[in-house]
Structure 1
Amino acid sequence: MRRGVGLLLLSAIAPGSAQLAVGHRRVGRLALRIWGAVLGLGLLLALIGLLSWSALVTVVANPLVLALLVVVLVGGALGWIVLFIDAWRLSYPPGMDRRHRQVFAAVTLALVVLVGSSYGLGARAAVSSTRTLGAVFTGGGSARATDGRVNVLLLGADAGQSRVGLRPDSITVASVDVRTGRTVLFSLPRNLEDVPFPEDSPMHERYPDGFSCPDHSCLLNAVYTTATQAAEQDPKVYKGVADPGAQATKEAVEATTGLTINYYAMVDMAGFSGLVDALGGITLDITRDVPIGGGSSPILGWIRAGQGVHLDGYHALWFARSREGSNDFERMQRQKCVMAAVLHQADPVTMVAKFDELATAGGRIVVTDVPRSDVGRLSDLALKSRALPITSVSFVPPLVYPGNPKFDVVRTTVKDHIRTAEDLDRQAQRDHTSAAASTAPRTTAPAAAPVAAASTAPNSTAPAPVAPTRTSGAPEQTKAAAAKAGAPASTAPETDDLDVICRVASAG
């Protein structure tokens, strides 16, 4: 019995060692070499991950690597099971008494089932990931940075029956510095009217003076449906484009903001709950109760206010989508809070440990033009973004009135806030260089230190808002737009550190 247990332990720790000790030495040496190669490959991947997260994601997302992983897992499982059975044989069970023989057989069977199920789950995850990555990351977007930035259009479609992706209710551009990862979120109202299209857009031919209708139904979130229907009626419109609605929306956002959109990602907000659950939930500070339901349906419950409230997918979805007792502008802020929480709380360890669940959830909810080859690069940018506060800009009254928008104000505001973000990066670099060059502790902080400190301390319990430096006269334009619309200009800033906004957003 002791000899049998020892051989099983040897097989469990180092497959082939039992055969090397008392059985077929050639088989044992071969198995140990294979096992050593697998361990070496695992260590190599771990080292790649430590040196470059984007390189690891690129490797793992490669379909050939995933196919090879499936072969290795299936072959390894079968080989290990055979070695366990052979170790049981080498233990000579007929020489044991009946009780020991039964216990020994049960232990062997348990190890066989454990190895087989573990490897089987791994192989299934690899197959599922291969299918999901191929289905989601179909490509079409451009990796070329403009002025050192990559701009991603994030569309949230509040799904109903036969409605997924038809009218995006959340429209946000994430502008990311490719060097530092510093991110500015620009949120556009879904009911923005008269949005322009670039001159080379097929939609510009139909709406040369902007997307406008006498009945005011031509809103920004209706561009998707309108372009899709136009492409269905005339195949020459957006010929060769996989998703005409998304392409037209990208073009409208580009003309509105003055940014070049590299990629888009459309998220089914109803399926979004599965993604949050796969991450283990998110945690937010909530300053007032948010209803679940409401509007045309009864209120089913409440998301209660509190510090550090942990939300599962169902409650995170309702926190982002709830309309009862709030307006679109508050919803825009809450949605950005959820985005920021997912970004900051989705750590690499969780992503690796739950890769299959995340990939499966992503396949159900995401449509994007990001090619698979760019996944690693964007993952690296996301990790850089996590280390810095996110600046948020909402184009809401009095800055911009959706029914009477001033697009020059939008474009100027975008430029100002990107310039401010870049100034913060330059200041942080200067502070870092000065600190490295100094051999004595400072007794007096430089004038710009508070801003730099706020920008490099994302885990602060009360991060200071980033006050943009304006040089283009945007405030005057904003006041003029507000006066023309017949509403007083607000003294509240339209931008802030997103951590601050998240504490204010749900306060109404």
Structure 2
Amino acid sequence: MSQDKPDLRNLSEPVRFKRALTLLLMTLLLPGSAQIVAGSKRAGRWAWRVIAGIFAILVFVIVLSLVWRAGAINLMVSPKTLRFLQIALIVLAIGWAALFVDAYRLGRPLTLERRHRLTASILDGVLVFLVVGALIWGSTIVSSQRDFVASVFGNGKKSEADKGRYNVLLLGGDSGADRIGTRPDSITLASVDANTGRTVLIGLPRNMAKVPFPDGTPMAKQFPDGFKWADCAENCLLNGVYTFADGHKQLFPSDPNPGVTATKQAVEAITGLKVSYHVLIDLAGFRDLLNAVGGITLDVGKRVPIGGIGSPIKGYIETGKNQHLDGYHALWFARSRAGATDYERMTRQKCVMTAMLNQLSPQKVLTKFQGIAKASKKVVNTDIPSGELGTFTDLALDAKKLPVSSFSAVPPLIRTSNPDFELIRSKVAEAIGKSEALDKATDDGDGKSANTPSSTPVKKPSTSADPGKTSSTPSKPGNDVDDVASICKA
């Protein structure tokens, strides 16, 4: 303290008490200001430089997010950035705590009455606890995100959009003690427009037979006439491709995940689309993920059994609008097979996917991130590189504003026991063409809304016995749906 500082003993005790409290509050609102006013101006200026630097970084990130949202997200989820932020938050917590302690010292607590000194001490302790606790909590969130990105996403090869689209294969299945999704229970290809995020879900039934493989691949050499019972003598259906390839690793030398590779190749041959990436989801762990985000809300048009097919029915998910389902019930809604066809179940799965897309806001993900990260590490396996997180998060935010269309390769159009793969490929191309036409019409400035184009009428989905009600679980879902949400209403 320099010699020109006023002697606080000349001030009345109430004034000294107010001064002590003011210094603490100044440190809360503008760290370093108490030192500028009553202490080391050098320390205060350093604190202000740090604040200015933080403010400049925030402005930079905000501006970047406005001009290049994907780039801003990629920057913020980079493991290097997250490590720097984690350390910075801890250092900031220590520095801010030191400023509070110094502000308490500058308040000259020994010159205060006992009760006032006790009040100032308690306030200082509470402020240190709140501010430091918040920053340390923030550092644990950042640490969880860094661990999540490192565990789930890798440094794999970036796949460029094919003909302006990212085609992501979504596989869902049960995991064993040391594997995930050995026999996919759910197979969906999400074809996403690389510019607009508009998405087409292509549903492929797990019981599709005689599936082909691209020329030159190991599976094509093994099964030149398709994956048929006469040749494989196991589960010779689409969901058995994963199992076969995983059990014949010698066909895929140096490939760490032959099951995924073979399944991706089969889907490419079936749909005529190049698969960019895959996401493999453990359906049992999916329950924990849904619980972490607080569940989803769905319209249920038909009672869905819980259990059955080899186990007793334990109950039902009852019909009704705006049914809030926790992870357990949402998983059974997506998986239940009792009293339903595989094709009906595929429809329910699309409803769950659409609900998650529409209901998982960035705010919810942020506030529940630790639970999501913890669950996702056990749920998701993907070859999407961490450097592409920004791209797909950006597309997902755009996709929330647009209807999701779909094509399902199921009866009556497609016979799964003897599929017409040329017809499937033409229908997939048609569904994607219709989806892209919506954006083209909007870009051409013809005044039509992308959500309600007059040139593309929405097909009405198949319904239950009541012709006046649209069911979320139709017994014969349509092959073509322009808005998946239309079949997910009770």
What TM-score, normalized by structure 2, do the two folds share?
0.87
> 1:84·1:112 contact (CA, 8 Å) conserved in 2?
yes
Paired residues of 1:189 and 1:329 also in contact (CA < 8 A): yes
Q: CA deviation at 1:316?
A: 1.7
State the alpha-carbon separation in 2 of the partners of residues 352 and 146 from structure 1: 31
What do the CA deviations read for 1:56-104 (whole angstroms, capped 9, x no partner)?
A: 2101111211111011101000101111111111112222222222232
Moved more, 314-323 or 300-309: 300-309
Aligned residue for 1:54?
Answer: 70
* Aligned partner (choices 234, 237, 246) of residue 228 of structure 1: 246
Q: Which one of 298, 301, 308 corresponds to residue 312 of structure 2?
A: 298
Q: Which residue of 2 aligns with 1:371?
A: 385
Query: Deviation at 1:53?
Result: 2.7
Rounded Cα–Cα distance in structure 1 between residues aligned with 2:450 and 2:18: 65
Post-superposition shift, 1:306?
1.7
Q: How does 1:176-187 map to 2 (within 5 A)?
A: 176-187=192-203
* Bigger Cα displacement from structure 2, 136-145 vs 400-409: 136-145
CA distance in 2: counterparts of 1:259 and 1:179, whole angstroms: 18
C-alpha separation in 2, matches of 1:3 and 1:271: 56
- Please show how residues 490-505 of structure 1 align to structure 2 within 5 Å: 493-503=479-489
Aligned-pair CA distance for 1:400: 1.5
Q: Distance in 1 between matches of 2:412 and 2:299?
A: 26
- Residue in structure 2 matched with residue 442 of structure 1 by the alignment: none
Distance apart, 1:393 and its partner CA: 1.2
**1:459: which partner in 2?**
none
CA RMSD between the two structures: 2.4
**Cα offset for 1:54?**
1.3
Match of 1:465 among 431, 436, 458: 458
**How far is the alpha carbon of 1:493 from its aligned partner?**
5.0
Say whether 1:113 aligns with 2:129: yes
2:452 is paired with a residue whose SS is: helix
In structure 2, the partner of 1:75 is 91
Q: Which amino acid in 1 is paired with 2:162? A: T
Does residue 144 (structure 1) correspond to residue 160 (structure 2)? The answer is: yes
CA deviations on 1:166-211 (whole Å, 9 max, x unpaired) are: 0110100011111222211101011111111112211222212111
**Greater alpha carbon shift after TM alignment, 295-304 vs 359-368:** 295-304
Aligned residues of 2:207 and 2:416 also touching (Cα < 8 A): yes
Retained in 2: the 8 A contact 1:278–1:357? Answer: yes
Contact 1:184 1:417 in 2 (8 A): yes
Change (3 A) 1:428 1:185: same
Alpha-carbon offset, residue 216 of structure 1: 6.5
The whole-number CA distance in structure 2 between the counterparts of 1:392 and 1:318 is 22
Which digits, 9 at most, give the CA deviation of each residue in 1:475-494, with x for residues without a partner? xxxxxxxxxxxxxxx89554
Report the Cα offset of residue 341 of structure 1: 1.1
- Residue matched to 2:115: 99
Please give the secondary structure, in 1, of the residue aligned with 2:228: coil
Where do 1:301-380 residues align within 5 Å? Answer: 301-380=315-394
Quote the offset at 1:48 in angstroms. Answer: 2.6
Distance 1:225 1:121 in 2: 43
2:223 to 184, 207, 217: 207
User: 5+ residue gaps in structure 2?
Assistant: 1-16, 462-475
Task: Specify the alignment match of 2:180 in structure 1.
Answer: 164
Deviation at 1:163, TM superposition (A): 5.4
Q: CA deviation at 1:466?
A: 5.0
Q: Does the aligned pair in 1 maintain the 2:408–2:479 contact within 8 Å?
A: no
Question: Which sits farther off after the overlay, 356-365 or 197-206?
Answer: 356-365
Map Cα deviations across residues 309-342 of structure 1 (whole Å, 9 max, x no partner).
2222222222111222222111111111111111
**Offset of 1:390 from its aligned partner?**
0.7
Partner residue of 2:105? 89
The aligned residue for residue 52 of structure 2 is 36
- Identity across matched positions, percent: 43
- Structure 1 SS opposite 2:141: helix
Q: Deviations over 1:138-174 (max 9, x none)?
A: 2445422222111110011134555521011010001
* Aligned residues of 1:165 and 1:266 also touching (Cα < 8 A): yes
- Offset, 1:134: 1.6
Rate the CA distance shift 1:298–1:4 in 2: closer, same or farther, 3 A: farther
Paired residue type of 1:495: V
Report the 3-state secondary structure (helix = DSSP H, G, I; strand = E; otherwise coil) of the residue aligned with 1:179: coil
Asked if 2 retains the 8 angstrom alpha-carbon contact of 1:126 and 1:356, the reply is: no
Contact 2:207–2:239, Cα closer than 8 Å, also in 1: yes
Q: Structure 1, unaligned stretches of length 5 or more?
A: 436-448, 457-462, 469-489
Give the match for residue 292 of structure 2. Answer: 278
**Do 2:154 and 2:384's aligned partners in 1 also have CA atoms closer than 8 Å?**
yes
DSSP-derived class of the 2:390 partner: helix
8 A contact 1:465–1:497 mirrored in 2: yes
Matched residue, 2:206: 190
User: TM-score, normalised to structure 1's length?
Assistant: 0.84
**Aligned partner of residue 489 in structure 2, secondary structure:** helix
Paired position in structure 2 for 1:454 = 452
Q: How far is 1:351 from its partner? A: 2.9
Within 2, Cα distance between the matches of 1:47 and 1:125? Answer: 24
- In 2, distance between residues paired with 1:91 and 1:97? 12
Deviation at 1:42, TM superposition (A): 2.4
Match of 1:217 in 2: 235
